């Protein structure tokens, strides 16, 4: 009974915290300039949180070392851009004509987002048939190769009627003014991003805590034991791969929505490594860790360390700051984090209100250390 009450309290606290965060976000968007760098950090951080969590579903919870997330984001981004672009732009003979797209269908924002995830999932199902029979490094190399082949394919001039070849695919309508269904009220862009990405992350959390999630963890821990328990290894690996790719496709669509442009050259191997780095820093097997690490990574990379690239600034009179120096400092910070947090910020743990309350009561663990010392002294005295 006490445990049930604690769970109810924790669920209520979580709902209140989410409501407060959304209200604060709404107030910020109504009162601050839309061009503020803070909104860029929040939107990009939430998008990277979604793709990092989807990668963690594979690497951390199923034990599949896949490096193809950038490829699935690419599919989602192009699918969204092509199907959301106005027909008048794609087929019209006016000055606004952009390129001769063979796909004349125009969808709303939400259907295009859903279709982006479905296209990525379909490609993942096809790719998964041969590659998921591989293990470890071989699987990583195969999925990484797939992502690079896909990027080159989308840049191919013969794909011009669909993807505009290697050229930038632009958006020609304000995609940030998304209307709430059945009303004329529009969502603020950052709030919309948080709602969509947060909803997707919540689905992944529910999946991990279901019977399928327990099967994924069993495969990660010991494939032979999992198979002996009656778990179909290939079926569950394929399921995890497809679901992860579906949400990676949606994250790619969100990225296309708020950057207003799509270009295949953006989705290169470095993007996959960035996502993997976020997963490692947050903790392999921790959803909370992936979310926290995403915002820290984007904030450091896009905001906090930007001044290091300005040659006009100097340290102690030495003119050592120049373009690219930010990356050097950023790499050193990552090395320090990995050295002192070998399992990441959260390890395999998740955020809990009980843990938060315990931390604020005893932030440095002094009380718990005293209790352990007292118990050990009592035990040694009895002996």
pLDDT at 149 over 80: yes
For the segment 224-240, the average pLDDT, to the nearest whole number, is: 90
Query: Measured over all CA atoms, what is the biggest interatomic distance in the chain, rounded to whole angstroms?
Result: 93
Q: Domain coordinates of the chain in residue numbers?
A: 38-268
Helix (H, G, I), strand (E, B) or coil at 58: helix
262-320 pLDDT tens trace: 888 889 888 888 898 899 888 888 899 899 999 988 888 877 777 666 655 555 555 56
Rounded-to-integer distance, Cα 157 and Cα 320, Å: 43
What is the reported pLDDT for 93?
58
Distance of CA 65 to the CA centre of its chain: 16
pLDDT at 322 over 70: no
Nearest to 48 by CA among 345, 254, 333, 302: 254
87-117 pLDDT tens trace: 777 766 554 456 677 787 888 888 889 999 9
Place 338 in a pLDDT band, splitting at 50, 70 and 90: confident
First to last CA, the chain: 38
Nearest to 302 by CA among 55, 112, 39: 39
What is the reported pLDDT for 96?
47
The number of CA neighbours under 13 Å toward the Cβ of 132 is 23
pLDDT at 368 over 60: no
Q: Does residue 333 contact residue 300 with C-beta atoms inside 8 Å?
A: yes
Range with the largest mean pLDDT of 71-85, 90-104, 351-365: 71-85
pTM: 0.86
Sign of the dihedral defined by the CA atoms of residues 112, 116, 119, 121, in that order: negative
Give the count of beta carbons closer than 10 Å to the beta carbon of residue 363.
9
**Higher local confidence (pLDDT), 61 or 108:** 61
H/E stretch holding 90: helix 87-91
């Amino acid at each position: 009974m006490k445990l049930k009450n604690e769970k109810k309290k924790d669920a209520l606290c979580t709902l209140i915290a989410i409501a407060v965060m959304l209200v604060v976000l709404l107030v910020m968007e109504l009162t601050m300039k839309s061009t503020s760098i803070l909104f860029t950090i929040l939107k990009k951080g939430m998008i990277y949180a979604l793709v990092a969590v989807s990668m963690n579903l594979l690497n951390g919870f199923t034990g599949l070392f896949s490096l193809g997330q950038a490829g699935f984001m690419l599919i989602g981004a192009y699918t969204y851009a092509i199907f959301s672009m106005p027909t008048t732009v794609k087929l019209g003979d006016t000055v606004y004509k952009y390129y001769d797209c063979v796909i004349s269908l125009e969808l709303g924002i939400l259907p295009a987002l859903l279709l982006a995830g479905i296209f990525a999932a379909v490609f993942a199902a096809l790719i998964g048939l041969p590659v998921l029979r591989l293990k470890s490094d071989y699987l990583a190399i195969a999925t990484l190769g797939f992502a690079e082949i896909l990027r080159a394919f989308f840049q191919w001039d013969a794909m011009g009627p669909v993807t505009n070849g290697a050229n930038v695919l632009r958006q020609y309508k304000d995609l940030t003014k998304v209307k709430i269904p059945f009303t004329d009220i529009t969502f603020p862009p950052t709030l919309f991003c948080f709602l969509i990405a947060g909803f997707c992350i919540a689905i992944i959390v529910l999946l991990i805590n279901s019977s399928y999630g327990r099967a994924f963890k069993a495969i990660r821990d010991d494939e032979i034991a999992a198979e002996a328990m009656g778990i179909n290894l290939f079926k569950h690996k394929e399921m995890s791969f497809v679901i992860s790719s579906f949400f990676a496709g949606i994250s790619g669509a969100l990225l296309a929505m708020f950057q207003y442009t799509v270009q295949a050259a953006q989705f290169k191997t470095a993007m996959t490594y960035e996502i993997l780095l976020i997963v490692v820093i947050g903790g392999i097997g921790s959803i909370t860790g992936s979310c926290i690490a995403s915002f820290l990574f984007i904030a450091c990379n896009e905001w906090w360390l930007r001044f290091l690239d300005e040659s006009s600034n100097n340290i102690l009179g030495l003119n050592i700051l120049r373009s690219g120096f930010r990356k050097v400092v950023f790499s050193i910070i990552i090395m320090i984090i990995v050295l002192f947090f070998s399992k990441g910020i959260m390890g395999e743990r998740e955020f809990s209100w009980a843990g938060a309350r315990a931390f604020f009561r005893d932030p440095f663990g002094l009380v718990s250390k005293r209790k352990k010392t007292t118990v050990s002294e009592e035990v040694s005295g009895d002996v």
